[in-house]
């Protein structure tokens, strides 16, 4: 192996030049990148090399000789160690600038000429998450809640999760203390034994309704009635308690089977004036105030006048579809998850929406069928997962050729790739609007509108 410019355990003084998309500082030694957790651009730092690879190295920050004006005092080192808030040491305005710059850099690499607007941030960039999935493990002989240290399976006990709704933090502690009181064992992933794996809590931002999901390795949970009674007595906001079975030795949090223990199989919340029922396995955006900002941007980007036909290609439980339906002639939603389609239809009924129809299937297949049936869409709305649009879906867009595509993205890398692919069908991205859905983290959400000349 060729000799690298730095070696493991070497101590160096470096100047930080940039941040990676993961929020790590980047310094260079003879052009060789050194990635440093917790370092910011412009800082001169003494670092300890912990790993040296052929093309890059990782280093630990020891001391700072100069400090960035954008550095702020972190709330708690645990939030960085667990990855809950990897940008907590970066001032919030600088976080917003970092996110817009990430998109610009990716566009530049992809040779895309797309203007990127300044990121829309939050007035209060903490305590925003309406959903938590907290691991439970045995620590010092008792069930303990917390978060894993990054790149490890070591649980760091935590009681305040900083970016979560504080009422959710309280609920997690209530459940943890009940597990301790009744001696209900936590899961042991090394042996795939024990009982409670995770505590999932959802809370409606506007409704204040709360759902508790106990994720268990087995249906046979000791003292289950006592746990339910204790939760409802301590947390009057709870409208739903669910037992979720996950028997497999896996990192996946939720299993596919659930059993109702108390209340309704959903909680309700509202978004831009529409009511939504959210079931345990449903996808629902975790930052409610910024979701309203994001969806408002999407509606504005669509330029709806009330005469348009809209296809929502990843419609989920209908949040974007029903928002669009207020401004469009007709909305067609397509979704691959049966439970989500059922939720979407129920949510349309709940809100008295008659101009939205939801279909189960793969978007690319359903869109091809709609095209053959003569359906013309004026606007195609896409909000795909992190992996972006499948090549088959891009091909389906090339068959249907709607005049406008509104792309809500949670991953700028796949967004840039997909814009480049859509350009092959004559689409041009006119602008991208980043929206900070996840303050203190490196995640980036955005809305991009693409138009096609007829």
Which positions are annotated as active-site residues?
410
Residue 327: other Cβ atoms inside 10 A? 16
Q: Which residues lie across from 32 on neighbouring strands?
A: 29
> Which of 191, 180, 272, 277 has its CA nearest to residue 230?
180
DSSP output for 350-402:
HTT--SEEEEES-HHHHHHHHHHTT---SEEEE---TT---HHHHHHHHHH--
Q: Which two tokens stand for residue 6?
A: 């730095």
Torsion, Cα 58 62 65 67, to 10 degrees, reads 70
Report the alpha-carbon angle 341-134-204, nearest 5: 50
Q: Which residues contact 102 (CB under 8 A, 6 or more apart)?
A: 21, 412, 444
Q: Which two tokens stand for residue 219?
A: 């249906």
Report the alpha-carbon angle 138-140-144, nearest 5: 40
Under a CB-based contact definition with an 8 Å cutoff, are residues 21 and 36 in contact?
no
| Residues 75, 67: Cα–Cα separation, whole Å | 18
Report the alpha-carbon angle 163-164-165, nearest 5: 125
């Amino acid at each position: 192996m060729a000799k690298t410019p730095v070696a493991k355990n070497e101590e160096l003084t470096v100047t930080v030049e940039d941040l990676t998309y993961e929020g790590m500082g980047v310094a260079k030694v003879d052009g060789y990148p050194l990635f440093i957790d917790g370092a910011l651009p412009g800082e001169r730092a003494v670092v300890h090399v912990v790993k040296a690879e052929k093309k890059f190295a990782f280093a630990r920050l020891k001391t700072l000789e100069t400090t960035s004006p954008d550095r702020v005092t972190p709330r708690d080192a645990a939030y960085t160690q667990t990855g809950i808030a990897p940008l907590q040491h970066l001032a919030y305005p600088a976080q917003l600038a970092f996110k817009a710059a990430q998109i610009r850099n990716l566009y530049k690499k992809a040779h895309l000429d797309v203007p990127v607007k300044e990121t829309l941030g939050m007035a209060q960039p903490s305590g925003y998450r309406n959903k938590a999935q907290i691991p439970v493990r045995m620590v010092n002989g008792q069930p303990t809640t917390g978060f894993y240290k990054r790149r490890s399976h070591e649980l760091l006990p935590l009681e305040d999760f900083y970016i979560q709704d504080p009422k959710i933090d309280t609920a997690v502690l209530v459940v943890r203390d009940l597990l301790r009181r009744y001696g209900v064992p936590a899961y042991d992933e090394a042996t795939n034994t024990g009982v409670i794996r995770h505590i999932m809590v959802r809370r409606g931002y506007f409704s204040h309704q709360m759902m508790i999901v106990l994720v268990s390795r087995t249906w046979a949970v000791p003292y289950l009635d006592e746990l339910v009674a204790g939760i409802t007595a301590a947390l009057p906001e709870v409208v739903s308690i669910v037992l979720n079975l996950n028997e497999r030795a896996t990192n996946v949090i939720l299993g596919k089977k659930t059993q109702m223990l108390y209340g309704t199989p959903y909680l309700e919340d509202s978004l831009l004036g529409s009511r939504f029922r959210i079931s345990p396995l449903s996808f629902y955006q975790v930052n409610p105030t910024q979701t309203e900002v994001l969806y408002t941007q999407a509606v504005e980007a669509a330029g709806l006048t009330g005469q348009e036909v809209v296809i929502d290609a990843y419609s989920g439980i209908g949040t974007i579809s029903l928002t669009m339906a207020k401004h469009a002639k007709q909305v067609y939603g397509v979704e691959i998850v049966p439970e989500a389609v059922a939720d979407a239809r129920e949510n349309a009924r709940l809100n008295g929406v008659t101009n939205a129809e939801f279909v189960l299937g793969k978007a690319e297949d359903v869109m091809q069928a709609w095209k053959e049936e003569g359906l013309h869409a004026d606007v195609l709305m896409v909000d795909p997962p992190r992996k972006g649009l499948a090549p088959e879906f891009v091909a389906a867009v090339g068959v249907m050729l709607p005049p406008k595509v509104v792309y809500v993205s949670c991953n700028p890398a796949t967004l840039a790739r997909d814009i480049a692919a859509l350009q092959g069908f004559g689409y041009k991205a006119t602008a991208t609007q980043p929206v900070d859905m996840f303050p203190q983290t490196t995640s980036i959400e955005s809305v991009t509108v693409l138009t096609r000349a007829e």
